[in-house]
Amino acid sequence: MNCEKTGELIHALRREKGLTQKQLADAMHLSDRTISKWESGLGCPDVSLLPELSARLGVNLEKMLLGDLNANTTNGGNMKQIKFYVCPNCGNVMTSGPGSDICCCGRKLTPLEPKPADPDHLLQVQTVEDDFYLTFPHEMSKQHYLRFIAYVSFDRMLLVRLYPEQGGEVRFPRMYGGRLFCCCSRDGLWTQPV
């Protein structure tokens, strides 16, 4: 941890929150001299104080330790660059744009890498009224099933969470130029154009 960089970040975040050194110190049961010492780079917060400090300042603990809040590069809001994550511990499904760090159950997750759909993971798409009606022959047992199906276009994403022993059909409102993603509990993420 670079005390000067971390101190500059603490100073900037404290001011962003509209807090004085005394207000932050009182909230954390410290002296305002301690906050001043951190901000001037003459010392660093004790490891035991870091979780509370990051929560009070609204910043990721890892970024605070680095002393840098690098902004993500903008992608113009293009949903086609979305990343999917599944927690191996609890099974939560999460999404993010590029450049994000996603954590669940205390672990940093890596995004799932989509593969082109093979015959076992190919979704059958029919147009029914103003919807896409998707069917899939995939097994839906407790040991092997599709976790979710997502329909992603330039400006929106629709995701349907699936569960074991559920039927093999999903409906999505029709959008143009999108891609379908399905996540198999055993084989990972698959994608295909609509």
Q: What is the pLDDT of residue 80?
A: 66
E strands in 75-187: 83-86, 93-96, 102-104, 107-109, 115-116, 124-128, 131-135, 146-152, 157-161, 169-173, 179-184
Q: Which two tokens stand for residue 88?
A: 């191996």
| % of the chain exceeding 90 in pLDDT | 50
Residue 28: pLDDT over 80:
yes
Residue 20: pLDDT over 90:
yes
Q: What is the pLDDT of residues 94-143, one digit of tens each?
A: 998 877 788 899 888 999 999 999 988 899 999 998 899 999 988 999 99
Residue 75: pLDDT over 50:
no
Q: What is the pLDDT of residue 70?
A: 66
Residue 93: pLDDT over 50:
yes
Residue 2: pLDDT over 90:
no
Residue 192: pLDDT over 90:
yes
Residue 162: pLDDT over 90:
yes
Q: What is the pLDDT of residue 78?
A: 61
